[in-house]
Amino acid sequence: MVPVEEVEENEDGLSQGTRTPVFPVEFRREFEYSGASNRDDGGDGSGRLMRVLKFGGSALADGAGIRAVGGIVEDAARTGRACVVLSAMRDVTDALIAAARQAEAGRELYRIALEAVRGKHIDAVRVLFPPTDHAPVITQVQILCNELEEILHGVELIRECSPRTLDLVMSFGERLSCALVSALLSHKGLPARTVDARELIRTDAAFTHAAVDFPATYALIQARLDGFKGIPVIPGFLGATEAGVTTTLGRNGSDYTASIVASGLGAENIDIWTDVDGVSSADPQCVEKAFIIPEMGYEEAMELSYFGARILHPFAMVPAVEKGIPIRIRNVRSPAGGGTRISREAHRGRRTVTGIASIEGISLVNIEGGGMMGIPGFAARAFGALARAGVNIIMISQASSEHTICLVFRSEEGERAVAALRSELAAELEARRIQDFSLRGGLVVVSVIGENMRGAPGMAGRLFSALGAGGVNILVIAQGSSERNISFVVDEKDRGGALRTVHKEFLEDA
């Protein structure tokens, strides 16, 4: 299957405007629109949605998982107002992308992927509902899958799947999961209805990675949901242009939707339901004594997420962070657990380090040479060349002598990075002002993160002394001026040892 990451990235917003998108009649048939009758006109603010619950694909893996989701929403509805944001069922987005690419190539195999998607959802219906109630829900699934089949057949005929069409194809994953969950909640007697995110999230036309127009989006969310009677069930990952054309929000798009909706409503908190108990202090597969961090600050969470921890993508957190809305990471399989709370006022505790994260599959290039010293703009040229080649630099380290610059990036970008640098610095290489450079792969970035690291004397010395005593060889070191993150690069074979050494030094028996 084609990996989702090939099409899911985020950029800054461009468009403006506040007019509500106009959708075709066929588009509106799928959803029940409440209009003014769903508004709470009492003026007492009782219609305000206080909790946003987001469920990922791992939570929606199958019928049993969806049943657990229904129970969690039911419990939440007993204690206050709730809003639900859903991803597609596990593996469905991958299957939809694969189907689109097969259809574009003119291969009938796309029908196999389509039938797998259809079958997965119908199987879930049979688990979730008694036989007497199968027909209406299966009908909803069939209507959506038949529409998807027509779109894919069109792709097959013209042998083209543009980013715009791909966004429309991908949208069916979230729309199908919403159909199932809305029906389940209604079956439980809860007043749940699907509210299409394309009515709420206004974006530009950068298909597959659309940027959100926040003023327009917040106005739409407040007009549609503030005072909504019942439980709105919203497909994550989706938006629409001013003209009503379907777009997707990119990587971690459903988390992003939850954050946007919560911010638009001024929600009390966001619960992100997944398949882990919370944010771990280190990779539990490497560190036996790793534990769930009960709470942390926004900045710590962003740092840990960027460096490989299973949290939210930092970009997805931004709307909630701006409004100061706490986020909890919770496990759908153990809903009684406290999970991890991420907030502005997190208790700092007594530990210096909050957590450790790592990124595998890393390569580096060292640029060395006396010809670099005192030459204005040399680093800018190297960075510019890598940016034009689409290489994302994870870490930078430069000696104060200006004799070396070390650049760290993901291994899949390594050959492209070296080619771009050799092209840009060809004159310097030929004149021997810099030495020829080569790619070094098989590396890992390890990051040690904690708010209490700021201003802690001897932190770096203690860290590197422990690593040295543990026999871990460090290749590159970087520390930001915020002092809440020290990152270093080691060989892949030293990853486990580095994580265990740091965890033992700073997080065990503290």
**Domains delineated in the chain:** 4-275 (3.40.1160.10), 355-506 (3.30.2130.10)
Chain centroid to CA 489: how far?
24
pLDDT at 373 (0 to 100): 67
The contacts of residue 308 (CB under 8 Å, 6+ apart) are 357, 358, 359, 360, 445, 447
Nearest CA-CA partner of 121 in 142, 106, 149, 104 = 142
pLDDT value, residue 287: 94
Pairing, β 246-248 against β 238-240: antiparallel
Give the separation between CA 449 and CA 481, rounded to whole angstroms.
13
How high is the pLDDT of residue 244?
Answer: 96
Q: What share of the chain is helix, strand, coil (3-state, %, to 5)?
A: 45, 20, 35
Best CA proximity match to 141, nearest among 190, 201, 92:
92
CA 452 vs. chain centroid, Å, equals 26
Spatial neighbors of 35 by CB under 8 A, at least 6 apart, are none
- Amino acid 510: pLDDT: 56
Distance CA 298, CA 318 (A): 9
Question: CB under 8 Å to 488, separation ≥6 — which residues?
Answer: 445, 446, 467, 474, 475, 476, 477, 478, 498
Distance CA 340, CA 362 (A): 28
pLDDT value of residue 440: 94
Strand partners, 51: 82, 269
Helix pair angle (134-158, 92-104), 10° resolution: 30
Residue 267 corresponds to which amino acid? A
Helix (H, G, I), strand (E, B) or coil at 477: strand
Contact 11, 206 (CB under 8 A): yes
pLDDT in tens, the chain (510 residues): 333 333 333 333 333 333 333 333 333 333 333 333 333 333 333 444 479 999 999 999 999 999 999 999 999 998 889 999 999 999 999 999 999 999 999 999 999 999 999 999 999 999 999 999 999 999 999 999 999 999 999 999 999 999 999 999 999 999 999 999 999 999 999 999 999 999 999 999 999 999 999 999 999 999 999 888 899 999 999 999 999 999 999 877 999 999 999 999 999 999 999 988 999 999 999 999 999 999 999 999 988 888 877 778 888 899 999 999 999 999 999 888 889 999 988 777 788 999 999 999 999 999 888 767 667 778 888 999 999 999 999 988 876 656 788 999 999 999 999 999 999 999 888 888 888 888 999 999 999 999 989 888 889 999 999 999 999 999 999 887 678 899 999 999 999 999 999 999 999 875
pLDDT value of residue 189? 95
What pairing do the DSSP bridges indicate for beta strands 295-297 and 340-343? parallel
The tokens of 334 are what? 């153990």
Sorted by sequence, the CB contacts under 8 Å of residue 11 that are 6+ apart come out as: 206, 209, 211, 250
Helices 109-128 + 163-187 axis angle, to 10: 20
Tell me the DSSP string of 138-180. Answer: HHHHHHHHHHHHHHHHHHHHHT---HHHHHHHHHHHHHHHHHH
**Amino acid identity, position 247:** T
Which pLDDT belongs to residue 400? 62
